[in-house]
Amino acid sequence: MKFWTLILMASFCMTLSVLGALKRRYSEAEMTIEECRGEADVLQCTKVCSKTFKCMEVNHTCCWTYCGNICWEN
């Protein structure tokens, strides 16, 4: 029983290390964010950026305001 537990734990640790290496690394240039020009209203505060500061809509950039990081139209 102890032998199977050791093998199971070793395979689990190896799987976690492989999955950690597959994570994409972002450069600091991709992770920069600017302050929005103007004041955001409540509707604009609902358009939240992704964790990598990207926006799904075309002609939108991620910027920070009092309500957090939002996608602001250019």
Domains of the chain, by residue range, sit at 35-74
Residues 6-28, mean pLDDT to the nearest whole number = 64
Across the chain, mean pLDDT equals 78
pLDDT at 71: 92
Give yes or no for a contact between 51 and 23, defined as CB atoms under 8 angstroms apart: no
Residues 26-48, mean pLDDT to the nearest whole number = 77
How far CA 14 is from CA of 17, 23, 36, 40, in Å, comes to 5, 15, 44, 47
Residues 25-54, mean pLDDT to the nearest whole number = 79
The model's pTM is 0.54
